[in-house]
């Protein structure tokens, strides 16, 4: 069929018709016309870019990217196309390319709010929150009623730990656009950071009224229900999120933590494997040629690598499984961080100990430490609960014994830890670290108990909170001499009790089978489950739980009363 002589006019007419259809919301009809134009003239710039934008609106991102790419091959001088391309690349989490696209748009048109907003989202995705904030601020300076930029700005303010500012930014977005589901959900996130779960819950519910299929809002609602001690409702919210987005790793992970908290261990361990799909953890997943062992094949006569993951406390808690693995006839190679290597040499069932980062010996299969409960189908009744499974070096313990004996006598010797590690670069960890830690001065009522000598076991930045001076506050501080966990173990072996927030030192004390009192946040870590004062993981551990989010006063009061009773029952100190 020959092309009509007046093709340019015909194409022009078709294009005007298509644009009018698109403008009136007749997207399918507009799309059909754009495709007809492209059959007649495959390199029709306007049809390519308009069809590309339509594909993006319909959520067909890959197709939209290809069409915009073809349009830009014809005319690369169009800032809006580069910006739209950046938007689509951001949606596919291809942040490097998105940033390059946004920068190209801004090179052509420096004061382009849309491109600045897309650049901010790319920078946020690349974990450059300060740069992202600058991009959003510029977009808003150019266009103060840009609701999306106010909302996106709230997300990076939250990443920067500025939750109150994030809340104000969401309020700006909602003043401009009251029915904006993302801004309602982000407002809930900011309120959750500010420990206002009731208010946060209201925001998520508003977001879900506006957008019932908003998977992130269902997931965030679940997290807030945990903060409100509504675990059954949280599971239902996660279920709703997964109906919308079955591949949401964060939601599967949150569901695993909730199941484990509820003591539904077998279902919880299965879901816990989703941790490796989470964007924050994916990068640290080990890519071994050897198969992952999850209890599904015989390891008799084989060499298995057990490798530490996540925090030091996790390693201290789950290294206990090495003995069970060894009993299956395997040769066990255990890889741990340097701080734990000397201590782990006392662990039963390990044939070879490797410091993380050193060359690994040959092995047949591997298992990360926190997958071992799944491999052994651990339930509440079958937790390998025998303690001690780690031991202090006898010679080092004797030396500490002599040093402590030279101090003025006291009925009880009690170790103290008041803060966990500080991981400010990750929003969820920053929140947990802030919630699980207390300031040293909060311990004042406990430090008042007579006939007790206290020993600081606090390492890291929070150790600076300890007042200096000879026996300040009746707290002896030898922490400068504690270089690794074997050193700490030798000191702890000489104490009657350790009082600690939820940190690795609490796990160390439990693993040594020494009494440990854990001062625990309300939205407890999954391993301590709910409402128990004891734990099946450590025979000598006792939990002092917050009755409500942030209520440390009653925790400290209860621990003080218990210490008064323990001190009264202890034998008078020998002089």
Q: Rounded distance, CA 113 to CA 144, Å? A: 10
Cβ-based neighbour number of residue 116 at 10 Å: 27
Tokens of 344: 């782990």
If you average pLDDT over every residue of the chain, what do you get? 92
Helix (H, G, I), strand (E, B) or coil at 151: helix
Q: What is the pLDDT of residue 54?
A: 76
pLDDT for the residue 517: 98
Please give the pLDDT value at position 425.
65
Q: According to DSSP H, which parts of 143-291 are helical?
A: 147-159, 163-176, 181-193, 197-210, 215-227, 231-244, 249-261, 265-272, 279-282
DSSP 526: G
Domain covering 303-382 assigned CATH 1.20.81 in the classification: no
Q: Which sign does the torsion angle of CA 537, 422, 248, 148 carry?
A: positive
414 pLDDT more than 90: yes
Count CB atoms within 10 A of the CB of residue 6.
Answer: 10
Binned at pLDDT 50, 70 and 90, residue 4 comes out as low
- The rounded distance, in Å, linking the Cα atoms of 291 and 275 is 18
Which residue has tokens 């947990």? 432
CATH topology match: 303-382 vs 394-569 = yes
Work out the average pLDDT over 389-413: 95
Q: Which helix (H) or strand (E) holds 15?
A: helix 7-23
573: pLDDT confidence band, cut at 50, 70 and 90? low
- Residue 143: what are its φ and ψ, rounded to 5°? -145, 85
Name the 3-class secondary structure at 63.
Answer: helix
pLDDT computed for residue 35 by the predictor:
75
3-state SS track over 251-300? HHHHHHHHHHHCCCHHHHHHHHHHHHHCHHHHCCCCCCCCCECCCCCCCC
Average pLDDT over residues 534-563: 96
pLDDT mean over 290-319: 96
| CA neighbor of 490 nearest in space, from 512, 463, 466, 459 | 512
Q: Is 394-569 assigned to CATH 2.60.130.10?
A: no
CA–CA separation, 413 vs 423, rounded Å?
Answer: 31
Which phi and psi angles does 434 have, rounded to 5°? -65, -40
Neighbours of 59 (CB within 10 A): 9
Query: 140 to each of 91, 112, 149, 169, how far by Cα in Å?
Result: 21, 11, 7, 11
Of 62-76, 385-399, 430-444, minimum mean pLDDT range: 62-76
Q: Which tens digits make up the pLDDT trace of 338-364?
A: 999 999 999 999 999 999 999 999 999
Sort 533 into a burial class: Cβ within 10 Å, 0-12 / 13-18 / 19+: exposed
Report the distance separating Cα 162 and Cα 124, nearest Å: 15
Percent of the chain with pLDDT over 70: 97
Element (H, E) at 453: strand 452-456
Is residue 261 within 8 A of residue 524, CB to CB? The reply is: yes
Per residue in 242-267, pLDDT (tens digit) is 999 999 999 999 999 999 999 999 99
* pLDDT confidence bin for 418, thresholds 50/70/90: very high
Contact 502, 523 (CB under 8 A): no
Contacts of 429 (CB under 8 A, 6+ apart): 423
Quick one: pLDDT band at residue 22, thresholds 50, 70, 90? confident
Provide the greatest CA pair distance for the chain.
113
Distance CA 434, CA 151 (A): 25
How many C-beta neighbours within 10 Å does residue 455 have?
A: 22
Residues across the chain: 575
Encode pLDDT of 81-97 as tens digits: 899 889 999 998 999 99
Q: Are strands 475-477 and 412-417 parallel, antiparallel or unpaired?
A: unpaired
In our burial notation (b when 16+ CB lie closer than 10 A, e otherwise), range 553-571 reads eebbebbbebbbebbeeee
Cβ-contact 384, 323 below 8 angstroms: yes
Q: What is the pLDDT of residues 468-512, one digit of tens each?
A: 754 456 899 999 999 999 999 999 999 999 999 999 999 999 999
User: Which pairs with CB-CB distance under 8 Å and at least 24 residues apart come from 174-177?
Assistant: 176/145, 176/146, 176/147, 176/150, 177/147
169-183 pLDDT per residue, tens: 999 999 999 999 999
Span 30-78, pLDDT tens digits: 877 777 776 777 777 777 777 777 777 777 877 877 877 777 778 878 8
Say which residues have a Cβ less than 8 Å from residue 540's Cβ, sequence separation at least 6.
387, 509, 510, 513, 514, 515, 516
Where exactly are the structural domains of the chain?
303-382, 394-569
pLDDT for 492? 98
Decide: 353 and 345 in contact? Cβ < 8 Å.
yes
Are 166 and 129 contacting, i.e. CB atoms less than 8 angstroms apart? no
pLDDT for res 281: 84
Residue 434 has pLDDT above 80, yes or no: yes
């Amino acid at each position: 069929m020959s092309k009509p002589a007046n093709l340019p006019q015909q194409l022009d007419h078709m294009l005007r018709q298509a644009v009018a259809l698109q403008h009136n919301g007749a997207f399918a009809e507009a799309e059909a016309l754009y495709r007809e134009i492209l059959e007649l003239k495959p390199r029709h710039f306007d049809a390519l870019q308009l069809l590309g934008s339509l594909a993006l609106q319909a959520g067909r991102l890959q197709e939209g990217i290809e069409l915009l790419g073809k349009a830009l091959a014809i005319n690369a001088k169009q800032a809006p196309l580069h910006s739209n391309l950046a938007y689509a690349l951001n949606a596919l989490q291809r942040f490097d390319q998105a940033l390059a696209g946004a920068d190209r748009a801004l090179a052509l048109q420096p004061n382009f709010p849309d491109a600045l907003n897309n650049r901010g989202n790319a920078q946020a995705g690349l974990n450059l929150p300060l740069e992202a904030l600058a991009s959003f601020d510029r977009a808003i300076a150019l266009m103060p009623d840009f609701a999306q930029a106010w909302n996106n700005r709230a997300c990076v303010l939250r990443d920067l730990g500025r939750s109150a500012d994030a809340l104000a930014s969401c309020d700006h977005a909602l003043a401009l656009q009251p029915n904006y589901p993302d801004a309602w959900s982000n407002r809930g996130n900011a309120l959750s950071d500010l420990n206002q779960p009731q208010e946060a819950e209201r925001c998520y519910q508003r977001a879900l009224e506006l957008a019932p299929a908003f998977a992130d809002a269902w997931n965030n609602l679940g997290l807030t229900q945990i903060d409100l001690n509504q675990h059954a409702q949280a599971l239902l919210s996660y279920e709703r999120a997964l109906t919308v987005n079955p591949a949401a790793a964060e939601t599967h992970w949150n569901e695993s933590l909730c199941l484990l908290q509820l003591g539904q261990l077998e279902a919880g361990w299965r879901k816990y494997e989703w941790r490796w799909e989470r964007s924050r953890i994916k990068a640290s997943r080990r890519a071994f040629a050897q198969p992952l062992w999850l209890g599904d094949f015989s390891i008799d006569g084989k060499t298995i690598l057990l490798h530490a993951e996540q925090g030091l406390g996790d390693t201290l808690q789950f290294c206990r499984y090495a003995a069970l693995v060894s009993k299956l006839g395997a040769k066990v190679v255990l890889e741990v961080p340097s701080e734990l290597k000397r201590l782990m040499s006392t662990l039963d069932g390990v044939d070879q100990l490797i410091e993380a980062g050193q060359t690994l010996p040959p092995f047949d299969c591997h298992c990360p430490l926190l997958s071992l409960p799944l491999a052994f189908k651990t339930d509440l009744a079958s937790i390998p609960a025998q303690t001690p499974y780690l031991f202090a070096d006898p010679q080092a313990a004797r030396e500490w014994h002599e040093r402590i004996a030279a101090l003025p006598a006291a009925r009880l010797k009690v170790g103290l830890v008041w803060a966990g590690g500080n991981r400010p670069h990750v929003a969820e960890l920053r929140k947990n670290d802030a919630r699980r830690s207390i300031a040293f001065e909060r311990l004042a009522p406990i430090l008042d108990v007579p006939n007790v000598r206290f020993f600081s076991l606090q390492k890291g930045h929070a150790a600076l909170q300890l007042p200096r001076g000879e026996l300040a506050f009746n707290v002896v501080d030898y922490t400068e001499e504690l270089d690794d966990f074997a050193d700490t173990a030798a000191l702890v072996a000489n104490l009657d009790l350790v009082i600690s927030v939820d940190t690795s030192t609490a796990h160390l004390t439990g693993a040594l089978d020494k009494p440990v009192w854990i001062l625990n946040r309300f939205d407890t870590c999954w391993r301590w489950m709910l409402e128990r004062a004891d734990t099946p993981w450590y025979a000598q551990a006792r939990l002092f739980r917050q009755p409500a989010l942030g209520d440390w006063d009653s925790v400290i009061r209860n621990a003080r009363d218990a210490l008064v009773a323990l001190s009264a029952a202890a034998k008078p100190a020998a002089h």
